[in-house]
Amino acid sequence: QVQLVESGGGLVQAGGSQRLSCAASIPPYMTYALGWFRQAPGKEREFVAAWSGGTTSYADSVKGRFTISGPTEGTVYLQMNSLKVEDTAVYYCAHRWGGILTGRNNYGSWGQGCQVTVSS
């Protein structure tokens, strides 16, 4: 599996911004996708955003507010703007071989998760 190390979680006020980082060491010999998922207490892990070869995809709930960038020097970023209380969750970066898919079961490697708490 691919090793993914996340950083950037924390507490932020509603309306604020935060950036998550995911450092990955990925063999470059085939197509891959890097995604961000999140899981709030009592809810299923849901797709947030993904990147593959310059193509990006976003969940409707974050479109226009979140931006996935990268990887740059092995690191993919999730820039989160205009944060809402409902964005509170543990955020996970993930890797899969192949292009972008939104289902969590399609990803074989996962970061350790970062708690993002948005307060009002």
pLDDT of residue 70: 82
φ/ψ bin of 74: left (φ > 0), alpha (ψ from -120 to 50), beta (otherwise): left
pLDDT of residue 79: 98
pLDDT of residue 1: 75
pLDDT of residue 39: 98
pLDDT of residue 6: 96
Q: Is the pLDDT score of 100 beyond 90?
A: yes
Mean pLDDT over 58-84 rounds to 95
What are the pLDDT digits (tens) for 41-55?
999 999 999 999 999
pLDDT of residue 40: 97
Mean pLDDT over 59-72 rounds to 95
What are the pLDDT digits (tens) for 55-64?
999 999 999 9
pLDDT of residue 81: 98
Q: Is the pLDDT score of 71 beyond 80?
A: yes
- Cα→Cα distances 63→2, 71, 82, 114, Å: 27, 19, 11, 20
What is the SS3 assignment for 52?
Answer: strand
- Cα→Cα distances 1→16, 25, 100, 101, 119, Å: 34, 10, 18, 18, 35
